[in-house]
Amino acid sequence: MPAQWDPPLTDEPGWPVEAEGPVLLLIDAETSIEHELIKAWIDRNEPDGVRVDIAHIPASRRIRRRKRSDSRLEARVAQSDDPMMVPIRIVWLATERDGKRRVSLKDFLVFGDPRDPNIVRQRWIRTFQPDRIRIVVAESAFKSTLDKLWSDPTGRGPAEGTSLSEFIALKAWLALERAERSLRGARYKVPKFLREDLYWSRGFQRGVSRLAIEGDVPLNKMQRKTSYYLKEMAATHSPYVIDIVTGLMAWILSLGYQNLEYSTDDLRELYQIGETHPLVFLPSHKSNSDHLVLQYVLYQNEFPPNHTAGGINLNFFPIGALLRRTGIFFIRREFKTNEPYKFVLRQYIDYLLEKRFPLEWYLEGGRSRTGKLRSPRLGMLSYVVDAYLRGLVDDIVFIPVSIGYDQISDIGSYATEQLGGKKEEESFAWALRFISNLHRRYGSVHVGFGEPLSLSDTLPMGTDLTTESGRYIIPKMAFEISNRINDATAITPISLVTLALLSQPSRGLTVDEAVTALGPFVDYVRERDLPTTVPGMAVTPEAVEVALQELVASKVVSRVEGLSDVVYVIEKDQHLAAAYYRNTIIHFFVDGSILEVSVAGMLRDGTAGMEELLARAFGWRAILKFDFFFEGRDGFRDSIIEELLLECPDGIERVNNGDLEGVFASLAPATSPAVLMPFLEAYRIVAAVIAQADPNETLDKKTVQARALRLGRQYAAQGRISTPEALSTELFASGIELADNAGLLDDSDQSDRDGFLADIDDALADLRTVQATASALVTSASTHEMTS
């Protein structure tokens, strides 16, 4: 079809340049149809009296290798004048459905990506659906401006050997991508020219040369190695795959979950921040569904797709290629001594931040097997903070994200691993099993966005992280982000019900007994206005029974129909599963529990005074520091005092006057045994293992953990632990870290190891004092009621 037969296209732009100087149109077109459409547009819009030249740059839609621009561009650029460079391309849109142009599964099954049609489909669209064709004219620039950027020795300019025409083609591609995004939307903001824009940049190639010299290897060998690392590592977003996979994942998630709940107001605020600053999303990691959930939420709200760090273990056929095209970039588990690999990773992170492509990774490193947040891994955080301190960007904003579930399908494997079982290796069959496990309803998914953390507000530019105080900055930042994730976590009915069930580990509960057991926890939540999935968190028998029945359906709880009552009891070997749901919210109750057990310890020892109370609270903080995230010393001190005054307004005066029973009565009914006992009993098993070892034996962590499992099973059989969920390799790991922090795994005096065991026993005695004192208070109250 001759070009002059084409009518004006929908929303066709006018001539882009008002200046009277020469114009060089840079045409990015792949097929004869695209060339004809652009030629027709030029014929309709070209002004009189202006010199207009045309040059073709390599078609960008399906780049396979670095290509040279055509000779006309090189010849035109070599001339002495200063033309305005104007990039132009054709954009093919998806069919409009319900007012939106998105790829559907039907497109995938029938024709492929409608935004990248072959020439046959292009002819059909041109004839029957011309409303799907757009001309995109990108931001123009003078040749002199581009020449200056090309020759500038600083910044991310082109490497030596890159011609000016090649550089102009790259800048035209990038400008066209930006212009096309304004048409398609920010959800398709992806880096398409990583090799041209990053690998062949001046800074990258200078680094490669330095590595070659330092490693005493030929330059071409180091170039091949770093090129391989970048290819192995980098995400290769495909808008088409993102559309298809997001649609598939929405369907897969709908198999197991009925609702996906989040705040659109929070997302609007984050979107505005992301328009001017690079965003780093740091979600909790509870399930294999986490990435799919957050990706879907951001996609539905027009966010650019995240670049998500994933372990290289996920790069298996065929899942790896699919994940890479949805935004996963793969990182090796070990590369401490691999300088070329570290260089490539740093350059890749720098590039993404500089271009404001959002990042995402799990601060915990891996999925939580216990339900609570794991200790943060600092590697990626250090890379990002370093980029900021080097002045690469003026700010980076971290977004804490809590992804919570009423229930999860992964729970069985988590319990198995905590009992010493082997983690299942990722594979295609593993992925299919994960999907097939979503055969029943698991409730809803709850996504909460915590308070953003801005580096420019937190960390002055130029801060030295190598000083004595500087080396604590990143760990403290990681802890602060973890606390903000916890603060954004919503309390679910199932998490509260499991807390009630586990507070009575030796017996089951009727619905009414569960309501009674939940009372102090629900009051605690309401008084502090903690986030909940159910407004007001009404604890009615009907609501509690619904939560219990959901746990019965997942075989975590049994329903025993007796003669006069229906009793709900945790299934045998399901205490770790129940503890998982409890632990998702347990952080909310830790400070209050520490206050309670500190008061009980003072009652036991007959001491008084606020200084004594705070000293005991700090002692508990030191014991629990490897399982929970605490504020700094001043913040923690204030939190304990705030808890005291909230429960007992004249508490400070009473503590100083020695009225500990009155204070404890204000705190009742007791919650600390349900919250803290499993952790202390696990630590006690570890302490016993270490105390029983040969004093001259240097213990490694794996040995201690293996022995702790054996001793824990022995204690359980002997009835020497009251909380079955204490038998957990994850809790043992925290106890081992606590002992290692005290230097007890290396050669140490037997007295030190015995002292550690005695300290844990003393803490357990305080918890048992809570139980005994609370029981005495209940008995006293009952007796008073009977005699009144």
Cα Rg of the chain (Å, integer): 32
Q: If phi over 0 gives left and psi between -120 and 50 gives alpha, with beta otherwise, what is residue 654?
A: alpha
Residue 729 tokens read as 């390799």
Q: Are 287 and 308 in contact (CB under 8 A)?
A: no
> Does residue 64 register a pLDDT over 70?
no
pLDDT tens readout for residues 152-170: 766 667 877 788 998 999 9
> Does residue 103 register a pLDDT over 60?
yes
> Does residue 784 register a pLDDT over 60?
no
503 pLDDT band, cuts 50/70/90, is confident
Which residue in the block uniquely carries the two structure tokens 């882009």?
Answer: 16
pLDDT tens readout for residues 458-492: 999 889 999 998 999 999 999 999 999 999 999 99
Which contacts of 641-645 are long-range, i.e. CB under 8 A and separated by 24 or more positions? 641/614, 643/591, 643/592, 643/595, 644/595, 644/613
Neighbouring residues of 362: CB distance < 8 A, sequence distance ≥ 6: 282, 283, 284, 285, 290, 309
> Does residue 442 register a pLDDT over 80?
yes
Higher pLDDT, 263 or 183: 263
pLDDT tens readout for residues 167-217: 999 999 999 999 998 888 888 888 888 988 899 998 999 999 999 999 999
pLDDT tens readout for residues 358-374: 999 999 988 999 999 99
pLDDT attached to residue 772: 81
For the chain, what percent of residues have pLDDT higher than 90? 64
Nearest of 490, 480, 476 to residue 451 by alpha carbon: 480
Neighbouring residues of 390: CB distance < 8 A, sequence distance ≥ 6: none
- The pLDDT of 218-240, averaged and rounded, is 93
Q: Which helix (H) or strand (E) holds 645?
A: helix 633-647
> Does residue 63 register a pLDDT over 70?
no
| Among the ranges given (53-67, 394-408, 547-561), the one the predictor scored with the smallest mean pLDDT | 53-67
pLDDT attached to residue 538: 76
> Does residue 57 register a pLDDT over 50?
yes
DSSP 193-257: -HIIIIITBHHHHHHHHHHHHHHT--HHHHHHHHHHHHHHH-----HHHHHHHHHHHHHHHHHH-
> Does residue 755 register a pLDDT over 90?
yes
> Does residue 441 register a pLDDT over 90?
no
CA 62, CA 123: separation in Å to the nearest integer? 19
pLDDT attached to residue 4: 41
Pairing outcome for strands 23-28 and 84-92: parallel
Residue 695 tokens read as 């004093």
Give the 3-state secondary structure of 240-297. HHHHHHHHHHHHHHHHHCCEEECCHHHHHHHHHHHCCCCEEEEECCCCCCHHHHHHHH
What pTM was computed for the model?
A: 0.90
228 pLDDT band, cuts 50/70/90, is very high
pLDDT tens readout for residues 668-720: 778 899 999 999 999 999 999 999 998 788 889 999 999 999 999 999 999 99
Neighbouring residues of 50: CB distance < 8 A, sequence distance ≥ 6: 17, 20, 21, 22, 23
pLDDT tens readout for residues 513-534: 999 989 888 989 998 999 999 8
pLDDT tens readout for residues 300-354: 999 999 999 988 887 877 778 888 988 899 999 888 899 999 999 999 999 999 9
Q: Are 67 and 36 in contact (CB under 8 A)?
A: no
Nearest of 655, 289, 570 to residue 444 by alpha carbon: 289
